[in-house]
């Protein structure tokens, strides 16, 4: 990647939004030997290669959503795509929102930040990102339309990976605390992510997204074009800890029979 375009991209990427950023220390994470089956269930969803999916984990404050997001991101970072590729990680990118940080409470630099991480994690997309910036330097501006940013800095590099990842497990993006993003941008962002997930020209990829269950987020997730893409996992701290997992397209309903699937569910610690 040309030094000039990399410098410009690095200037505007929100480094504090990365899952392991020093700005977020101490990092919340699942303690060893806790939530073992719950995490195993999520990893199983992330391994599915049939279609791209958004796995939406939602619950009230304090149930451990960010800990799960960090733990999953850390796990994906440590997994190789395949021995036959030069790609050393399944983690494509992360964005951890925070209402206490101006740059992390808006969506204006969301796709710019993911593009920065894509270049690091998947070096073969460097030319695609560099070319997109050279063709339209304004695409890095946080006031640019989210759709323009997504097409140039997210879909374009991912499209380049479709052939090389055809025999690999899906790359994973982790987005945490969407409820801490400015509300007027949330519906647009969810709709755009849905558009990318449906794009047949992109490789199969998954997004793990966490949030509180707020009305504007729920409405966007259940809008007409989203149900076939969203796998909903409500989380609470009472009883079993996890209320259930529901595929909004109706393919998988695990709200009942949960105890049978995960016999030691009582050992989950959502804290």
Q: Looking at 107-176, which runs of residues are DSSP E strands?
A: 172-176
Antiparallel, parallel or unpaired: β 230-235 and 246-247: antiparallel
The whole-number pLDDT of residue 32 equals 66
- Of 42, 9, 230, the closest CA to residue 118 belongs to 9
- How many domains does the chain fold into? 1
Report d(CA 47, CA 261) in Å as an integer: 18
172 forms bridges with which residues in the sheet?
Answer: 91, 206
| Domain extent for 103 | 3-27+35-267
> Where residue 256 sits, what CATH number does that domain have?
3.40.50.300
Take residue 126 and report the two structure tokens written for it: 């460097």
- Over its length of 271 residues, how does the chain's per-residue pLDDT go in tens digits? 778 899 999 999 999 999 999 887 777 777 566 677 888 999 999 999 999 999 999 998 888 899 899 999 999 998 877 655 666 789 999 999 999 999 999 999 999 999 999 999 999 999 999 999 999 999 999 999 999 999 999 999 999 999 989 889 999 999 999 999 999 999 999 999 999 999 999 999 999 999 999 999 999 999 988 989 999 998 875 334 444 444 444 444 333 333 333 333 333 333 3
Contact 27, 203 (CB under 8 A): no
Biggest CA pair distance of the chain: 56
């Amino acid at each position: 990647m040309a030094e000039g375009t990399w410098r410009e991209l690095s200037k505007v990427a929100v480094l504090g939004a990365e899952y392991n950023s020093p700005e977020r220390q101490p990092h919340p994470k699942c303690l060893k030997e806790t939530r073992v089956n719950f995490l195993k269930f999520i990893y199983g969803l992330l391994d599915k290669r049939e279609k791209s999916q958004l796995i939406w984990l939602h619950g009230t404050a304090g149930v451990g959503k960010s800990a799960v997001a960090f733990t999953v991101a850390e796990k994906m970072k440590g997994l190789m795509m395949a021995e036959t590729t030069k790609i050393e990680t399944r983690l494509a990118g992360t964005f951890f929102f925070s209402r206490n940080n101006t740059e992390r409470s808006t969506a204006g630099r969301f796709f710019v930040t993911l593009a920065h991480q894509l270049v690091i994690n998947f070096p073969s997309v460097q030319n695609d990102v560099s070319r997109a910036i050279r063709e339209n330097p304004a695409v890095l501006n946080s006031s640019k339309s989210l759709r323009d940013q997504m097409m140039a800095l997210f879909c374009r590099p991912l499209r380049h990976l479709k052939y090389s990842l055809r025999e690999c497990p899906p790359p994973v993006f982790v987005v945490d605390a969407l409820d801490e993003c400015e509300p007027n941008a949330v519906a647009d962002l969810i709709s755009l992510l849905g558009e990318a997930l449906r794009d047949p020209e992109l490789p199969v990829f998954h997004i793990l997204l966490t949030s509180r269950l707020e009305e504007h987020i729920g409405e966007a997730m259940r809008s007409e074009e989203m149900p076939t893409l969203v796998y909903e996992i409500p989380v609470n701290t009472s009883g079993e800890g996890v209320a259930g997992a529901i595929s909004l397209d109706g393919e998988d309903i695990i709200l009942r029979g949960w105890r049978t699937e995960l016999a030691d569910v009582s050992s989950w610690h959502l804290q």
